[in-house]
Amino acid sequence: MSRHVVVTGASSGIGAACARAFSAGGDRLSLGARRTERLPAVVDGAFCHQLDVTDQASVATFVESSIAANGPIDVLVNNAGLARGTEQIATGTGEAWREMIETNVLGLLEVTRRVLPHMVENGGGHVVVIGSIAGHKAYVGGGVYCGSKRALQPICEAIRMETLGKNVRVTSVDPGMVDTEFSVVRFRGDEEKAQKVYEGTRPLVADDVAECVLFAANRPAHVNLDNILVMPTDQANPYFVHRES
């Protein structure tokens, strides 16, 4: 049976790959992002709508419009998120920190709190969170980003407990290095600096992560994959990356 799948941050990278993966299986898609001009090209025929997860009114309108277009939400893929800069704690200004926390933590909470009641009312659903290896291992210059991703772990655990018996599944998919626009965003459009992150190694690509999301969503209703940690073969943790010389 066709599901209604909502994807946030769907204009590129992992979000777009997740949208394409679900669409290939015949699911109905509602896609949200700030860069709305990119959305129609992601999945032909998908419902597309502007979404800024840091804006409560934007989130409310997006969720309501998605339900009006495609019916009750069966799967929510909380993908919207970002890293910004590599400021260390002692020398940071706070601006980038607030942006990351407001997007990665508060934005995810805002979308989820709007969707969960509908899932419970309609007999269940699946909340998928795109986390990161950064939520498991910190690194220099990434303390706040790592903290924002670490916060998602207890949030997911709490949702599981708070919806127990309501047929709601919660899965966190936590990738290591993925070659997307992630580093371009982190380095504020510096393509050359961003590409050096992946130089000489074999990172994951967005489709690798989307396959994990789809696998979790396609398990039988009584099976919940709490956490999937997926890493490139060439990466052991944020510090240990094999690179060809």
Within a domain: residue 15? yes
Which sign, positive or negative, has the C-alpha torsion 95, 97, 98, 103?
A: positive
Could you report the per-residue pLDDT of 205-214, keeping only the tens digit for each?
Answer: 999 999 999 9
Number of domains in the chain: 1
The reported pLDDT for the residue numbered 230 is 98
Which position among 139, 145, 198, 239 bears the catalytic label?
145
Write the CB contacts of 107 (distance below 8 Å, at least 6 apart in sequence): 8, 53, 54, 59, 80, 81
Identify the weakest region by mean pLDDT among 48-52, 58-62, 144-148, 180-184: 180-184
Within a domain: residue 183? yes
Within a domain: residue 237? no
The reported pLDDT for the residue numbered 245 is 78
Strand 75-78 and strand 47-50: the pairing is unpaired
Could you report the per-residue pLDDT of 58-87, keeping only the tens digit for each?
Answer: 999 999 999 999 999 999 999 999 999 999
Query: If you average pLDDT over residues 101-120, what whole number do you get?
Result: 98
What's this model's pTM, rounded to 2 decimal places?
0.96
Reply yes or no on whether 239 is catalytic. no
Q: How far apart are CA 65 and CA 188, in angstroms?
A: 31
Is 190's pLDDT higher than 90? no
Within a domain: residue 140? yes
Within a domain: residue 224? yes
Tell me what the pLDDT averaged over the chain comes to.
Answer: 96
Within a domain: residue 243? no
Is 194's pLDDT higher than 90? no
* Banded pLDDT at 100 (limits 50, 70, 90): very high
Share of the chain above pLDDT 90, in %: 92
Domain that holds residue 150: 4-230
Assign residue 70 the CATH number of its domain: 3.40.50.720
Residue reference for tokens 């959305």: 39
